[in-house]
Structure 1
Amino acid sequence: MRFWWSRKAETALPIRNKTLAEQALTHRSYTEGDLQASNERLELLGDAVIGLVIAEYLFHRHPDWDQGQLSKARASLVRASVLCEAAKRAGLPPLIKLSPAEEQAGGRERASILSDTFEAVVGAIYLDQGYKAAQDYILTHLQPELQALDEGRMPIQDYKSMLQERTQAWWRVTPVYEVVEEHGSPHQRTFVVQVRLKDLVVGRGSGPSKKQAEQKAAEEALQYTQQNRRLIDETLC
């Protein structure tokens, strides 16, 4: 990888290791798929760190919330549109290294690329400076959304909405839900629903109503798509 640095990057990133900082800002299109040079591995690490920081924040900030409320609030705060705005506040868009084709296609403004880059930068900060520095960076750049959530001004989205936002941002595909099983007495029905992206099943859930089963399927799909994004990229693209 050609060494790269700039005054803007030095100001925007609290990372001493410049090679690590460069990797965090390098989209895979720039490296022609070289995993060691792109930011994809750092993105995975950063995603985990962000999830932990937000979960810890919500746990202490809202002691009266149950597990379901905490889980939905965390999912609302780590979705692509929120991390995209955080990346803009952090000054990351002009620093991202993209291929000419991706640049021409508007990649520098694409929510998925900006949110992925924010995650990668968090991963790099964690490796370079430790948990506290990564925590400070996350809470600083997500402060408007955290404050809005604490004040009740930010709605906590349901799993179906969050899944649709993710799949449209990442693959430009709308999830399809379908009932695959239905059993029990007329007054105690259980519905089993699966959700797919084109022909790929990504989640399955059950419940006493179709709506509840769909929410369960979407919740499972959010986990699956996060953990298997590269595989889904290859399947859908």
Structure 2
Amino acid sequence: MNIAKRLTSLEKKIGYSFQNLDYLQIAITHSSFAYENQDDHLSDNEVLEFLGDAVIGLILAHYLVENYPFLDEGDLSKFKAAAASTNTLASFARGVSLDKKILLGKGEVKSKGYKKKTILAGAFEAVVAAIYLDGGLEPAKKFLFPLLQKFFQKIKVNDFKIENYKSALQEYLQRDKLPAPSYRTVETSGPEHKKLFLVEVKLGSKLLARAKGHSKKEAEQKAAHKALKKILGKKLKALTDEIFLIKRKG
């Protein structure tokens, strides 16, 4: 496939039409290809990779603050690091067929550079930068947001250590103008020196979760954790009907 066809095909795959296709060509040009074709005076994608890293960071921060307002700075940083990792960006790159479109030198092709995560992640960053330079921040967000949404839908909240699950749950519910969850000790068992508390957390009359702990505080945190897993771990849809019902009743 010649370069022009690669670019046209990639435009369709990423869903953005470039005003200046030179940006996209640079984005998919690895340094090994530029070096082997010096007579063509090609620019490689390293500078765009640098810019793309910053653009992705900005868009990712915007996405997280907008969609996870209940997380504190430390937890947001954990989510951000996961989404901006080499593994994740390489996965995004494969999703838009960059592994098939990137221009590599003969040596890199021989060593299957199109499978290397660092090369793919760098190319993806460069493509984001190319979109940003060609059309601005909004087209870059439009391209990246759906990828981030799919990524975070697959993540379960217990993949990350959130420091205070009760606060996280309450802030999430408040975002949707819902009442604060209520906690109740349902059962106490075990000897005095090693009591076990069963606590339930509810949203109105709707039971969100139950959990056990060796203190009420521990049980409440575990119950809130389970409730967040139920909400976030099921693509934010598990409680939709109940939430709307509670809103109507309220």
Q: Please give the TM-score of this superposition, normalised by the length of structure 1.
A: 0.60
Give matches, 1:1-237, under 5 Å: 4-6=3-5, 7-13=8-14, 14=16, 15-32=18-35, 37-149=43-155, 151-152=156-157, 155-156=159-160
1:4 CA displacement: 3.2
Secondary structure (helix, strand or coil) at the match of 2:3 reads coil
Amino acid at match of 1:42: L
- Runs of 4+ in structure 1 over 4 Å off: 33-36
- What is the rounded CA distance, in whole Å, between the counterparts of 1:134 and 1:96 in structure 2? 19
Question: Deviation digits for residues 154-186 of structure 1, max 9, x if unmatched?
Answer: x238xxxxxxxxxxxxxxxxxxxxxxxxxxxxx
Do the aligned partners of 2:24 and 2:127 also contact (CA within 8 Å) in 1? yes
Compute the displacement of 1:36 (Å): 6.8
Question: Separation in 2 of the partners of 1:136 and 1:112?
Answer: 24
Paired letter, 1:4:
I
| Alignment partners' CA distance in 1, 2:9 and 2:50 | 25
Equivalent residues, number: 154
Distance 1:98 1:60 in 2: 38
Give 3-state SS (helix, strand or coil) of 1:54's partner.
helix
Q: % of aligned pairs identical? A: 34
Per-residue CA deviations over 1:186-228 (Å, capped at 9, x if unaligned) read xxxxxxxxxxxxxxxxxxxxxxxxxxxxxxxxxxxxxxxxxxx
Q: Matches of 1:10 and 1:65 in 2, distance apart?
A: 35
1:226 aligns with none
Contact 2:34/2:44 (<8 A) preserved: yes
Q: Distance in 2 between matches of 1:78 and 1:117?
A: 13
Within 1, Cα distance between the matches of 2:108 and 2:35? 12
Q: Is the 1:76–1:156 contact (alpha carbons within 8 Å) kept by the matching residues of 2?
A: no
Shift in CA distance, 61/10, structure 1 to aligned 2, threshold 3 Å: closer
Mapped contact 1:26–1:38 kept (Cα < 8 A)? yes
Structure 1, unaligned runs of 5 or more:
158-237
Bigger radius of gyration: 2
**Where does residue 174 of structure 1 map in the other structure?**
none
Shift of 1:119: 0.3
CA distance in 2, matches of 1:119, 1:137: 12
Rounded to whole Å, the distance in 1 between the matches of 2:160 and 2:96 is 24
Work out the CA distance in 2 between the residues paired with 1:42 and 1:140. 22
Tell me the secondary structure at the aligned position of residue 5 of structure 1: helix
CA shift for structure 1 position 152? 2.5
What CA distance in whole angstroms lies between the structure 2 residues aligned with 1:65 and 1:144? 19
